[in-house]
Structure 1
Amino acid sequence: MSGKRVIDIIPGFALSFIVAIVAKLLAIFLPSLGAATIAILVGIILGNIFFKQEVLNKGTKFSESKLLEYSVVLLGFTVTFQTISKMGINGLIFVLLMMTIVIFSAYNIGRKLGFNEKMSLMFAGGNAVCGSSAIGAIAPAIDADDEEKGQIITLVNLLGTVMMLTLPFLGTLIFGDNLLSKSALLGGSLQSVGQVVAGASLINSDTVKFAMLFKITRIILLVVVVFAFEKKVKPTSKAKKNKFKLPIPWYVLLFLVLCLINSFVDLPILFNNTAHFLSGWFETIALAAIGLRLDFRKFIKEGPKFLIYGLSVGTVQTVSAILLIVLLNVK
């Protein structure tokens, strides 16, 4: 990372870090809310009232995205394949069915509302797999227009934000203390890694761990989704030939490597404790940044057709997830 880039990141990162510290301190007096919830709420308030300066953007974006990636990697030290096996075959079937339902419903709803094929596919993939990261992988494969890509990324993030703030409470209301059911709801539905971590953090750290297992299963299937969409659209010869990319994000691969090591090597307890400590701080700073970057003006800017599209797909996702968790007895 160049010196210029580091300097650009400092203001937004520093603000996110300060909000995280405040959240941690307030959580001592408000344990029922917890640092995660407080970090998001304080970030939203400050970001929409006081801190809209452009100089903060690069630092808050870094805090939101990179720190969450590092947090996912560190989870590998706290998870083993024995933990993953708790998902069970029903958990895997749940993920596959959810992705299938979301892709077909998002695509068909989009076409009914008048969105073109490529926009509908990007929205379908973004919701089914991993938000804007999935859209970034799908767009060049189907030769999508940059402006349309930007519109869909905005819509996916708006929908993800609404679901991130509502699903944790809905999941607790419906499934009570059932850890795996709530984790499946969040990890199987929420769009981005950040939203899964943020939403699950509103419940507890165990929910973060298990929700991420469902989420990582979806991310691993990204390569299948991109291949299928590319075959469906059959882009013209003008489509750019991309240089080699990893089929799944680097942090997922590292998570799996560390998980593999942790499963077969008896690591010192210091590794687990340090990873848990750092991961918790990375998450809180990232959640503060997510709050700071949540601009309510974007909700108003999008036209009614976009909002109808987002709410329709979000409803299908939520209802389908709840029904599948009950029918497949994911608990």
Structure 2
Amino acid sequence: MKKILTLFSFLESNKTVQKIFFILLLLTCVFAKVSPPVALLLGLVVANLSGHPFLPFNHIAIRYLLQFSVVGLGFGMNALNALAIGSTSFLFTISSIVATIGFGYLIGRWLSIEKKTSHLISCGTAICGGSAIAAIAPIIKSDEKQTSVALGVIFILNSIALFLFPSVGHWLSLTQQEFGLWCAIAIHDTSSVVGAANKFGHEALEVATTVKLARALWIIPVALLTTILFKNKSSKIKIPYFIGFFILAMLLNTYLPEIALFAPKIVVVAKVGLTITLFLIGSGLNFNVLRSVGFKPLLQGVLLWFFIAALALVSIMCFT
């Protein structure tokens, strides 16, 4: 342990070596197929033990990488399939989104959480985790700290869900379809949804993936509503350009076979972009920032997560 602390002390004092170490970890996230939660954890380790050597550029990199990731994920969606399968879960989807965002607002007020942070956590829980936060953050003009806290809360819970949900599903003897629908609604991020459903079974994986992709389309109306709610009186309401590119990417993937041939590669690159973003977010989130935020955002995330998981589970078991 002393050797590790000595190493990080050396890294913190030697800026050149610190930069090399930072870049090596960044490349590890890119080429070693590191999962988003692990990337965030690696970033937190860097932030709190060796320091971020490129901190002044962190905010710009995070903003553009998040937007790029949202657009790239659109190439993994088929509009026709999403509409066809998503129609069967339409009521579950819209009711859970409205209930989660509404309950999140009440919890945020109750806990006196900063409005933008609370809204990001609510949207990330209600729709599709990091992708939703990536879409909403520029609309409400959240700063790096607010976005970092929201993403951190969401991905910590995602990593727990990946292991918890399959066990609960087997314990409750859920069918493949029930479990696929449940995890698509109750788990935040697509990567964790796919991972949990894959552990449960092939049919669950198909249902979960399709429903989650259809659910992700609700980024658009929620983003539009957010634009109205958070707009400045002195400015005009406008849809952020990357939301338009997100829609365009989905339509291209659906109607142009030529695009569909290399669309999966774009999605892979987009997911790598999100992984890098999380590493950068974690590397800018040191203990001083965490202490200034407190435990309340995490508590909001946990309460919302239990709320949506319980609500979805009861609804699925009673009405399907």
TM-score by length of 1: 0.64
Residues 171-223 of structure 1 show CA distances to partners (whole Å, capped at 9, x for unaligned) of: 33344683784465346652xxxxx2442454569688535424323212215
SS of residue in 2 equivalent to 1:167: helix
State whether residues 184 and 325 of structure 1, in contact with CA within 8 Å, keep that contact through their aligned partners in structure 2. yes
- d(CA) in 2 for partners of 1:300, 1:201: 33
Whether 1:45 and 2:42 are equivalent positions in the alignment is: yes
- d(CA) in 2 for partners of 1:247, 1:285: 18
Q: 1:245 maps to which residue?
A: 239
Q: 1:132 to 1:260 in 2, by over 3 A?
A: closer
Give the drift of 1:72.
Answer: 1.3
TM-score by length of 2: 0.66
Q: 2:110 maps to which residue?
A: 112
Tell me how large the CA RMSD over aligned residues is: 4.2
SS of residue in 2 equivalent to 1:75: coil
State whether residues 76 and 264 of structure 2, in contact with CA within 8 Å, keep that contact through their aligned partners in structure 1. yes
Q: In structure 2, what residue type is equivalent to 1:258?
A: L
Q: 2:309 maps to which residue?
A: 318
Q: 1:114 to 1:200 in 2, by over 3 A?
A: closer
Q: In structure 2, what residue type is equivalent to 1:286?
A: L
Give the drift of 1:261.
Answer: 0.9
Whether 1:309 and 2:300 are equivalent positions in the alignment is: yes
Q: 1:221 to 1:325 in 2, by over 3 A?
A: farther
Q: 1:71 maps to which residue?
A: 72
1:95 to 89, 93, 107: 93
1:286 to 261, 264, 274: 274
Q: 1:85 maps to which residue?
A: 84
Whether 1:199 and 2:192 are equivalent positions in the alignment is: yes
Q: In structure 1, what residue type is equivalent to 2:262?
A: T
Whether 1:171 and 2:171 are equivalent positions in the alignment is: no
Give the drift of 1:256.
Answer: 3.5
State whether residues 104 and 118 of structure 2, in contact with CA within 8 Å, keep that contact through their aligned partners in structure 1. yes
- d(CA) in 2 for partners of 1:119, 1:198: 23
Aligned residues: 278
Q: 1:257 to 1:207 in 2, by over 3 A?
A: same
Give the drift of 1:105.
Answer: 1.3
Runs of 5+ consecutive residues of structure 2 not aligned to the other structure:
1-20, 199-204
Q: Sequence identity of aligned pairs in percent?
A: 11
Q: In structure 2, what residue type is equivalent to 1:22?
A: A
1:19 to 24, 29, 52: 29
Whether 1:158 and 2:166 are equivalent positions in the alignment is: no
Q: 1:131 maps to which residue?
A: 133
- d(CA) in 1 for partners of 2:59, 2:145: 20
- d(CA) in 1 for partners of 2:193, 2:112: 34
State whether residues 16 and 289 of structure 1, in contact with CA within 8 Å, keep that contact through their aligned partners in structure 2. no
- d(CA) in 1 for partners of 2:50, 2:41: 10
SS of residue in 2 equivalent to 1:221: helix
Give the drift of 1:114.
Answer: 3.9
State whether residues 104 and 304 of structure 2, in contact with CA within 8 Å, keep that contact through their aligned partners in structure 1. yes
SS of residue in 1 equivalent to 2:54: helix
2:264 to 276, 282, 303: 276
- d(CA) in 2 for partners of 1:102, 1:228: 19
Q: 1:55 to 1:197 in 2, by over 3 A?
A: farther
